[in-house]
Amino acid sequence: MEKNIGRLSWGDWIWGLIHVFLDTITQRVWSCHLQPLPEMPAMAGVTCIVTGATSGIGLNTARELAKAGAHVVLAVRNTKAANELIKLWQKDQCANGVPLLDVEALELNLSSLKSVRQFAKDWELQNRPLHILINNAGIFHMAGSERVSEDRLEEHMQVNHLAPSLLTMLLLPSLLRSGPSRVINVSSAMHHLGSLDFEDLNTTPGKKGFNSTAAYSSSKLAQLHFSNVLQRTLPEEANVDIISVHPGEVITNVVRTLPKWLQVAYKFIPFFLFTPLEGARSVLFCATDPHVLEYARAIRASNYPSAPYFSSACTPVSVAKQAMDLDAAFKTWNKTLELVGLPDYYFQRVVSGVPGQAETIETIDEED
């Protein structure tokens, strides 16, 4: 009964809940020695893509990277909102008498795999460099009912895992060209509550007893599995590292689907919760700190059963037991490639540097 491999036992589930609860009430303690922002090296000449940069953690991450001198691409579903943000940031820069930021907004809607392919294709055709990809965009329809993406997949799994996986895979040629480069995945401590059904990766809509907390947690677990396989399959010479990071429990628009009174209540417990800027701290740390890459390489060399994962206090911590299950990780990898329509040969071709990636994407596009 393969179907139940990923199911959590009661014990693991309770342990997961305790983990998330403790993480929330102690995160301020563990990070009290940290400055609001990590010290960042000069970022001139570094190109970054931040998905979901119109709100919360992504917005703060993108702005701070740009302030540090990076070229930042806001990959967003709402380009109008992003362009308005950019105007605001530039106005601030002018007011403070500092140079304008090097930022632009491009359309990327993760609810549509077609949009992901289009984004990657345009990027590749222009042969653009990419040093840091930050997979930040994510949804959590707290207490919400089931929603289905354009590709007829459960929306948490699509937006939080499948679409970013496709994006990462299709942008690999740019990452490989630009090494040393890194992919930062904004993960979540909630993966401790995740479990997967490898027959369909919890993507088939209409299953009985849909639960958005379980859907969110499982999408974050799938993301860790996929990162694990990608990190261990990429050769060291590829010079690309995949790092996952928990931003902390942060007050953002992530609560937008809760009933209004609960949203108000949520804003009254800020004592334990991080501000979005504090939430961006560990993300920025993972994106820019040189020691993070050293750690990632050490982990790869030691054949550790998971890819690197950092806490909201910017320290490496271990992932949940179910995220260290290598067999499960390979199953997630296989199923993910199948669901996003990437052929088996794609990865090998890209890593071995077969030219003409734009055409590969083109073919994949047409197969759709």
Q: Which is nearer to ligand NAG, 273 or 340 (CB)?
A: 340
Q: Read out DSSP for 205-219?
A: TT-TT--HHHHHHHH
23 binds, among ligand NAG, ligand NAP, none (CB under 5 to 8 A by kind): none
- 235 exposure class (CB count in 10 Å sphere: 0-12, 13-18, 19+): exposed
Listed in sequence order, the residues at least 6 apart from 46 whose beta carbon sits closer than 8 Å to its beta carbon are 69, 70, 71, 131, 132
Using CB under 6 A as the binding rule, whether residue 136 contacts ligand NAP is answered as: yes
DSSP for residue 183? E
Please choose, from the candidates 310, 304, 306, the residue with its C-alpha nearest in 3D space to the C-alpha of residue 292. Answer: 310
Please choose, from the candidates 146, 158, 148, the residue with its C-alpha nearest in 3D space to the C-alpha of residue 115. Answer: 158
Residue 295: active-site member = no
Out of 130, 306, 331, 342, name the contact with ligand NAG by CB under 6 A. Answer: 331
Residue of 216, 295, 309, 346 marked catalytic:
216
Using CB under 6 A as the binding rule, whether residue 194 contacts ligand NAP is answered as: no
Using CB under 6 A as the binding rule, whether residue 223 contacts ligand NAG is answered as: yes
Out of 110, 120, 170, 296, name the contact with ligand NAP by CB under 6 A. Answer: 110
Q: Which of residues 49-88 bind ligand NAG (CB under 6 A)?
A: 77-78
330 binds, among ligand NAP, ligand NAG, none (CB under 5 to 8 A by kind): ligand NAG
Q: How far is the CB of 336 from ligand NAG (least distance, A)?
A: 7
Q: Read out DSSP for 157-180?
A: IIIIIIHHHHHHHHHHHHHHHT-S
DSSP for residue 39? -
Per-residue contact track with ligand NAG, 341 to 360, x per CB under 6 A? ---x----------------
Using CB under 6 A as the binding rule, whether residue 203 contacts ligand NAP is answered as: no
Helices (H), the chain: 10-30, 56-67, 79-95, 113-125, 155-156, 163-177, 212-233, 260-267, 276-288, 290-301, 326-340, 345-351, 357-367
Binding site for ligand NAP (CB under 6 A): 52, 54-58, 76-78, 108-111, 136-140, 159, 186, 188, 247, 249-250, 252-254
Binding site for ligand NAG (CB under 6 A): 77-78, 109, 111-112, 135, 138, 150, 160-161, 164-165, 168, 183, 185-186, 193, 211, 213-214, 223, 226-227, 230, 242, 327, 330-331, 334, 344
